[in-house]
Each structure stands twice: as C-alpha cells, then as structure tokens.
Amino acid sequence: MRKTPIATLGLASLVLMSCTTIAPVKINAGDQCFRCRRIIADTRLATEQVQGGLTSKYRAPGCMAKYLVAHPDEGGTLFVTDYMTGKMIPPAEAIFVPVLIDPTTGESDYRAYKNSSDASAVAHELATALVDWQTVLDRAR
C-alpha cells in the first residue's frame, strides 16, 4: 500500500491553510461595540479587529482607535467600513472625514472612505479637513 498520495494530500492541505487571508466578518446593526459596549447602529461607520481567530467589532473608527491606544500590545488585522460601498478595507487605505454622529449628545467620530474624491466632497460639504489613520490614532491619545 502506498502512502505517498495521503502524504501529498496532507501537505497540500497545510499549504492551502497557510495561504488563506484574514477576512472581515459581517457587522450587523445591533451588534455590541467591544470597547464601549454600546450598540452598533450605523454599520457604515463600524470597524473591526481580527486577532488570533477572534473578531472584535467597534461602533466607529474613533472607538477602535481609543481601544488600540489603550492596549498598545494588541494588534491583529484591522478593517474599517468604506462609507460609500459598505465594504471593509484596511484603515491605511482609507481617508477619514470627521463627522458629528449624534447631534443630541454632540458625539463625533469619523467616516472612512476608500475613494479620495468621495472623501473630499464630503469634507468640503461639512467644512472639515480630511485625516489619515495615523491622525485618528493620534487624536485618540
């Protein structure tokens, strides 16, 4: 009996598993923010951190940035939601627009945009300046 096909199949399985990429999970309205424990109401602002097979969801980029600043030893793969398309992208690929998210409380955070012209148009409309991910992190300190 030959063991070569079984060994080859096992090796191929290991190679395929090592080539998988980390993918974001769907964030639903009503999910709970990992940092502040509030409900995620607007999924177009939501973000997530995938680390060690666990996914932590956040209400908005600023909330995730505050968590990361408070826990500098934690990393993982980060995703923000492109406000225009609803697709998750790495924060380094996004341009952020500061926005008022709750007029009643005055709470502000950021919208993430992949397309710079979309971000610029919104920033112009809201009379605010565009920022990058590093600035979001710096402001969370």
Closest of 75, 81, 70, 78 to residue 35, by C-alpha: 70
Please tell me the predicted confidence (pLDDT) of residue 17: 47
Q: What is the pTM of this model?
A: 0.84
The answer to whether residue 65 is domain-embedded is yes
Q: Helix, strand or coil for residue 132?
A: coil
d(CA 110, CA 49): 17
Q: What single DSSP character describes residue 52?
A: T
CB 92 within 8 A of CB 131: no
Alpha helix (H) ranges present in the chain? 4-18, 61-70, 116-126, 133-140
The answer to whether residue 11 is domain-embedded is no
pLDDT in tens, 89-103: 999 999 999 999 999
Neighbours of 81 (CB within 10 A): 26
The answer to whether residue 3 is domain-embedded is no
Q: Block means of pLDDT (10 residues each) for the chain, length 141 residues?
A: 51 48 93 97 97 95 98 94 98 98 94 98 98 98 95
CB 76 within 8 A of CB 50: yes
Please tell me the predicted confidence (pLDDT) of residue 52: 87
Domain residues for the domain of 65 are 23-140
- Residue 65: what residue type? A
The answer to whether residue 107 is domain-embedded is yes
Locate 38 and state its tokens. 């509030």
The answer to whether residue 58 is domain-embedded is yes
The answer to whether residue 38 is domain-embedded is yes
Which residues have C-beta within 8 Å of that of residue 129, sequence separation ≥ 6? 98, 123
CA 95 to chain centre: 13
C-alpha separations of 138 from 68, 118, 128 in Å: 11, 23, 17
Q: How many domains does the chain have?
A: 1
The answer to whether residue 14 is domain-embedded is no
